[in-house]
Amino acid sequence: MKAAVLYEPGKPLVVEDIKIAPPKAGEVRVKVAANGCCHSDLHVMTGDMRMPLPIVLGHEGAGIVTEVGPGVASVKEGDHVVLSFSPVCGYCYYCTEGNPHLCETRPKKMGTLLDGTTRLAKNGTEIFHFAFTASFAEETVVPESCAIKIREDMPLDRACFVGCGTMTGVGAALNTAKVQPGTTVAVIGCGGVGLNVIQGAAVAGARQIIAIDLLPKKLDLAKTFGATHFVNPSQDDAFKAVMELTGGRGVDYAFEVISTAKTIELAFKMTARRGTCTIVGVSPESARITLNPNIFTMMEKRLIGSFYGSTRPRIDMPRLVDMYMEKKIKIDELVSRTCTLDDVNEAYDLLKQGEVARSVVKFF
């Protein structure tokens, strides 16, 4: 089957034929229909996020189950699925208390399936799986808990975004920060994920949603996703602008959706007393933030992180699919471009240049 393989950071992905082995016990083989071009894969391509190589990237996928391994009970051949990049065991402390995105039994070693081996190879050399999904490929094998069954009338080239950008963003607003009606929100970084934080805040009933991005194009899109005010830090001081817009108080909820120390510090600074600042981006390992600890005490500000929108995949993902089908959330507007796997490097060049919110690679 055809897949996009990263051999070396800084080099383009190689689109080539590789071998895929059948699913083992507890695994599911999926014919990938579509996969979105998220910035996190780009972090691996640039070397900011280290992964074993060679590796098949892609973690924003959806497709159709073609085969299940022994013991698989939740899906069967023919089922439509969103690919979740966070396997859950269902019995550890965090799975049981309702936070399966923090499952304790996930392997520490990256790039393999749960048994520590891979199903991908070329000429006898093993190829790793990015994020358990490896969905920049015509087919993939994933742990059962990463294949989330969805309704069949959901277009798969839209469902794929529920596997990352939509879930990560909407979930950060609704599940992690728990944005309340009538409140004020600022979102720094209005890319594929940030736009979804904005629409999550809008769904929650926030009164004022301030979008902050360097690119006018992204600020235009932010309006479509529900932002009420717009700040471009290349023209205006973002902190001052937010303070002015909020009567000098700051926002009840700030979100950092870029992944730099500077923008995290900025988000925290613009958070109001008793407000919540949520970090969505994962910065390079070497990054450090500097904060005055007294702000926590004197102002009761909170600083929290959000991983994968604090998702409970089997509850939240079909729910987001329903919300899209009922026109309560937008996905179409996120997709700037549809392409084939052969164009995947070009899709990432456009993301780097800020030309697109999301491209989607469509396989069928």
What are the residues binding Zn ion (CB under 5 A)?
38, 40, 164
Check residue 164 for interaction with ligand COD (CB under 6 A).
yes
Residue at shortest CB range from ligand COD: 191
Check residue 26 for interaction with ligand COD (CB under 6 A).
no
Rounded Cα–Cα distance for residues 88 and 75 (Å)? 15
Check residue 35 for interaction with ligand COD (CB under 6 A).
no
Question: Considering CB distances under 5 to 8 angstroms, the limit depending on partner class, which of ligand COD, Zn ion, none binds residue 258?
Answer: ligand COD
Instruction: Output the 3-class SS for the chain.
Output: CEEEEECCCCCCCEEEECEECCCCCCEEEEEEEEEECCHHHHHHHHCCCCCCCCEECCCCEEEEEEEECCCCCCCCCCCEEEECCCCCCCCCHHHHCCCHHHCCCCCCCCCCCCCCCCCEEECCEEEEEHHHCCCCECEEEEEHHHEEECCCCCCHHHHHHHCCHHHHHHHHHHHHCCCCCCCEEEEECCCHHHHHHHHHHHHHCCCEEEEECCCHHHHHHHHHCCCCEEECCCCCCHHHHHHHHCCCCCEEEEEECCCCHHHHHHHHHCEEEEEEEEECCCCCCCCCCCCCCHHHHHHCCEEEECCHHHCCHHHHHHHHHHHHHCCCCCCHHHEEEEECHHHHHHHHHHHHCCCCCEEEEECC
Check residue 95 for interaction with ligand COD (CB under 6 A).
no
Check residue 257 for interaction with ligand COD (CB under 6 A).
yes
Check residue 39 for interaction with ligand COD (CB under 6 A).
yes
By CB under 6 A, name the one of 26, 87, 111, 192 that touches ligand COD.
192
Question: Considering CB distances under 5 to 8 angstroms, the limit depending on partner class, which of Zn ion, ligand COD, none binds residue 263?
Answer: ligand COD
Binding mask 325-344 for ligand COD (x = CB under 6 A): --------------------
Check residue 308 for interaction with ligand COD (CB under 6 A).
yes
Question: Considering CB distances under 5 to 8 angstroms, the limit depending on partner class, which of ligand COD, Zn ion, none binds residue 1?
Answer: none
Active site amino acids: 38, 40, 43, 59, 164
User: Please, which residues bridge with residue 67 across strands?
Assistant: 29
**214 to 243, contacts with ligand COD by CB under 6 A?**
214-215, 218, 233
Question: Considering CB distances under 5 to 8 angstroms, the limit depending on partner class, which of Zn ion, ligand COD, none binds residue 191?
Answer: ligand COD
Rounded Cα–Cα distance for residues 81 and 30 (Å)? 8
Q: How far is the CB of 204 from ligand COD (least distance, A)?
A: 19
Q: How far is the CB of 220 from ligand COD (least distance, A)?
A: 11
Nearer to ligand COD, 126 or 355 (CB): 355
Question: Considering CB distances under 5 to 8 angstroms, the limit depending on partner class, which of ligand COD, Zn ion, none binds residue 132?
Answer: none
By CB under 6 A, name the one of 190, 211, 303, 323 that touches ligand COD.
190
Residues that bind ligand COD (CB under 6 A): 38-40, 43, 164, 168, 188-194, 212-215, 218, 233, 257-259, 263, 280-282, 308, 351, 354
